[in-house]
């Protein structure tokens, strides 16, 4: 079976890697640098903790698969830092984890996720790319029969096409009748020098302009802090520079007031363009030979998404054409 995967971010690479392992003949195409868009940067948070029992279950399976990849690669992709969740989400997330049978503990109002930790995303991307060998090519259109049109005027005929093109996905699959939210926003995360030996942390308590914050160690031993600003401060029309400026002001203020052990001058800044309002969640759809995956906060689920997509493609599991499937 000949499969073209469009996109060499963590989801496209995970899909291509798993499809290859399932025996498919796979080409993975990216218009830019592999792992250079929403998957850029060194680390993310892995967590089983979610507010939806189905996502908890999928993250548990992802945890097993990250372990498998770590064993194959001889490199640990999810660290043992653990995760703490605080704020108003705790009761609902604890209930979701209980419903999914996931081990966790609530103490002093915070939820402790023992499976959570720092995800070595850059390491995982390099591991997958060494097998998948993504090629530089911009896809300009895809037909439901599996024809992939390229910017150089060429075309590739595949038995199946997987679209994991991040911000490029809506334009590629809209003509096939698959409606992927196209409204984007800007986001920026910052790193700071200082002690980094703590668990990853998600805090859902509003703090100044920030509706919530997340923190974790990075590969360089710095401490990453990101915060979610109100929609008006992250709007696409404001531009990446202005949103980064507002984010930086709010996050630095947060660090000054709550994280005094850190040097409040940011060391690095990482920008990205999430889908507006997506939050946690994964969506898959299919039109003919074309399989599509999109969502936000997908890094932690990548091996599970690869497994699901490979099962869809190789096993040809039917999903309604143009329809939406909120699994996992």
Ligand X SMILES: Cc1cc2nc3c(=O)[nH]c(=O)nc-3n(C[C@H](O)[C@H](O)[C@H](O)COP(=O)(O)OP(=O)(O)OC[C@H]3O[C@@H](n4cnc5c(N)ncnc54)[C@H](O)[C@@H]3O)c2cc1C
Contacts of 185 (CB under 8 A, 6+ apart): 231, 234, 235, 236, 243, 273, 274, 275, 276
| 139 belongs to the binding site for ligand X (CB under 6 A) | yes
Under rule CB under 6 A, residue 28 binds ligand X: no
Out of 29, 84, 243, 250, the only residue in the binding site for ligand X (CB under 6 A) is 29
Nearer to ligand X, 54 or 74 (CB): 54
Q: Decide: is 36 part of the binding site for ligand X (CB under 6 A).
A: yes
Residue whose CB is less far from ligand X, 135 or 318: 135
H/E stretch holding 73 reads: helix 53-73
Segment interacting with ligand X, rule: CB under 6 A, options 35-43, 78-86, 95-103, 109-117: 35-43
> Applying CB under 6 A, which of residues 3, 4, 5, 7 lies at the interface with ligand X?
7
Structure tokens at 34: 């592999």
Q: How far is the CB of 73 from ligand X (least distance, A)?
A: 18
Token pair in block for residue 3: 């499969």
Determine which residue in the list 168, 199, 209, 266 makes contact with ligand X, applying CB under 6 A.
168
Minimum CB distance to ligand X, residue 80 (Å): 16
Does 8 bind ligand X (CB under 6 A)? Our answer is: yes
Count helices and strands in the chain by DSSP H and E runs = 7, 19
Restricted to residues 285-314, the positions that interact with ligand X (CB under 6 A) are 296-300
Per-residue burial over 165-188, b if 16 or more Cβ lie within 10 Å, else e, is bbbbbbebbeebebebeeebbbbb
The torsion defined by the Cα of 47, 49, 50 and 56, in degrees rounded to 10, comes to 90
Provide the token pair at 179.
Answer: 């409606």
* Ramachandran area for residue 101 (φ above 0: left; ψ -120 to 50: alpha; else beta): left
Radius of gyration from C-alpha coordinates of the chain: 20
Residue 202 binds to ligand X (criterion: CB under 6 A): no
Residue with smaller CB distance to ligand X, 108 or 292: 292
- 247: which 2 tokens? 């984010």
Q: Closest CB to ligand X among 100 and 293?
A: 293
Stretch that binds ligand X, among 87-95, 163-171, 239-247, 306-314 (CB under 6 A): 163-171
* Residues binding ligand X: number (CB under 6 A): 34
Q: Which two tokens stand for residue 115?
A: 């499976």
The answer to whether 283 contacts ligand X (rule: CB under 6 A) is no
Token pair belonging to 98: 């209980």
Instruction: Choose which of 5, 16, 28, 37 interacts with ligand X (CB under 6 A).
Output: 37
Q: Which is nearer to ligand X, 74 or 78 (CB)?
A: 78
Neighbours of 51 (CB within 10 A): 16
Residue from 18, 26, 30, 289 that binds ligand X (CB under 6 A)? 30
Report which of 6, 16, 95 is spatially closest to residue 56, judged by C-alpha positions: 95
> Which range in 34-42, 60-68, 80-88, 244-252 contacts ligand X by CB under 6 A?
34-42
The CA-atom distances, in angstroms, between 164 and each of 129, 211, 228, 282 are: 15, 29, 25, 12
Which of 16, 20, 24, 38 touches ligand X (CB under 6 A)?
38
Is residue 96 a contact point for ligand X (CB under 6 A)? Answer: no
Contact call for residue 234 and ligand X (CB under 6 A): no
Q: Is the peptide bond before 328 cis (omega within 30 degrees of 0)?
A: yes
Quote the least distance from Cβ 145 to ligand X, whole Å.
18
Nearer residue to ligand X within complex by CB, 74 or 216:
216
Residues that bind ligand X (CB under 6 A): 6-12, 29-32, 36-39, 44-45, 138-139, 164-166, 168, 172, 187, 189, 226, 270, 272, 296-300
């Amino acid at each position: 079976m000949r499969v073209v995967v469009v996109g060499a971010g963590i989801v496209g690479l995970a899909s291509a890697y798993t499809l290859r392992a399932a025996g498919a003949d796979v080409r993975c195409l990216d218009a830019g640098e592999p792992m250079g868009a929403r998957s850029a940067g060194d680390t993310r948070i892995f967590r089983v903790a979610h507010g939806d029992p189905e996502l908890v279950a999928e993250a548990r399976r992802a945890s097993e698969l990250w372990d498998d990849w770590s064993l194959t690669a001889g490199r640990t992709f999810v660290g043992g830092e653990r995760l703490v969740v605080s704020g108003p989400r705790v009761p609902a997330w604890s209930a979701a984890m209980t419903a999914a049978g996931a081990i966790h503990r609530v103490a002093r109002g915070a939820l402790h996720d023992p499976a959570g930790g720092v995800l070595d995303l850059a390491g995982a991307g390099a591991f997958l790319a060494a097998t998948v060998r993504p090629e530089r090519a911009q896809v300009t259109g895809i037909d439901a029969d599996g024809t992939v049109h390229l910017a150089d005027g060429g075309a590739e005929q595949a038995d199946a096409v997987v679209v994991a093109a991040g911000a490029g996905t809506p334009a590629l699959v809209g003509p096939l009748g698959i409606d992927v939210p196209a409204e984007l926003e800007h986001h920026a995360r910052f790193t700071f020098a200082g002690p980094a030996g703590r668990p990853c942390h998600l805090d859902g308590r509003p703090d100044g302009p920030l509706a919530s914050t997340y923190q974790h160690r990075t590969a360089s031993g710095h401490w990453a802090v990101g915060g979610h600003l109100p929609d008006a401060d992250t709007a696409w029309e404001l531009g990446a520079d202005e949103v980064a400026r507002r984010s930086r002001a709010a996050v630095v203020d947060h660090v000054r007031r709550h994280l005094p052990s850190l040097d409040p001058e940011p060391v690095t800044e990482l920008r990205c363009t999430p889908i507006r309002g997506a939050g946690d969640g994964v969506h898959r759809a299919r039109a003919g030979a074309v399989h599509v995956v999109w969502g936000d906060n997908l890094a932690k689920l990548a091996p599970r998404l690869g497994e699901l997509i490979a099962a869809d493609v190789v096993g040809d599991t039917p999903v309604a054409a143009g329809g939406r499937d909120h699994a996992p």
